[in-house]
Amino acid sequence: MATREVREKLFVQLARIGKSISHPKRIELLEILGQGERSVEALAAATAMGVSNTSAHLQVLRSARMVETRKQGTKVIYSLADELVAGFVRELWNLADARLAEVEQLIRQYLEGGETLERVTREELICRALKGDVYIIDVRPLDEYAAGHIPGAASVPFDELVQLLSTLPADMDIVAYCRGPHCVLAPKAAQILRQHGFRALVLADGMPEWRQEGLPVDVTDS
């Protein structure tokens, strides 16, 4: 096989990966699966798509070997193929951050140009958690929390935050986290908490980065 032919065939294989993420919903599916495995039905609900449409997108990802499946009774459960895929999604975000000003503009617009929120690193959070002077909340949906969360974190889904304000401590700093550094749920949650008189901060990244570092993860029944 000639060198030119080999190179062309190799680039065809790379293009399979590019094609698999050429739709925004497929990137969203990968990000959600970075929180833990999910059924097709759960993924459809999380992405506001129909089950058949979700399944079609997942098949494209599976054909590029970005995701894997297993059967659980009559349900098909999807997960990321491995940590390389999770890292690929993180680097895609980093590239968009560096090259597309619209990313930051959209986040600022969603947060309505509010105050700059203080962010804490994983190391700072661990140190403060060991001292017992910080309250950690996971603002992701309950099923993502159940699939894996920071030990000691309380589940306070973003959509239920206002109703759960009375359950939160008023005399401690509250650190919110969600799906990662580009997830807008935690910053918005911290913004709402501050508006109600709480001392709120945001974890600098999220659950996927916590897992990547090999830090302890708790799993619970949803």
Instruction: State percent of the chain over pLDDT 70.
Output: 97
Domain 3-85, what fold? Arc Repressor Mutant, subunit A (1.10.10)
Judged against a pLDDT cut of 60, whether residue 196 lies above it is answered with: yes
pLDDT of 164 higher than 80: yes
- Which of residues 209 and 115 earns the better pLDDT score? 209
Tell me the pLDDT of the chain averaged across its residues: 94
Residue 168 confidence (pLDDT) above 60: yes
Q: Whole-angstrom Cα distance, residue 68 to residue 151?
A: 27
- Report d(CA 32, CA 21) in Å as an integer: 14
The residues carrying an active-site annotation are 178
CA–CA separation, 27 vs 156, rounded Å? 25
Give the H/E segment covering residue 205: strand 200-206
Does residue 222 register a pLDDT over 70?
Answer: no
Give domain limits for the chain. Answer: 3-85, 108-212
Q: What's residue 137's pLDDT? A: 98
For the chain, give me the number of helices (H) and strands (E)? 10, 8
Identical topology for domains 3-85 and 108-212: no
Residues 26-61 pLDDT 10s:
999 999 999 999 999 999 999 999 999 999 999 999
Phi, psi of 148 (to 5 degrees): 160, 125
Position 115 scores a pLDDT of: 60
Q: Which two tokens stand for residue 147?
A: 């699939």
Q: How many CA atoms lie within 13 Å of 128's alpha carbon, on the beta-carbon side?
A: 17
Cβ 62 vs Cβ 17: under 8 Å: no
Q: Which CATH class is domain 108-212?
A: alpha beta
> In which residue are the tokens 């911290």 written?
190
Query: What is d(CA 6, CA 100) in angstroms, rounded to the nearest whole number?
Result: 33
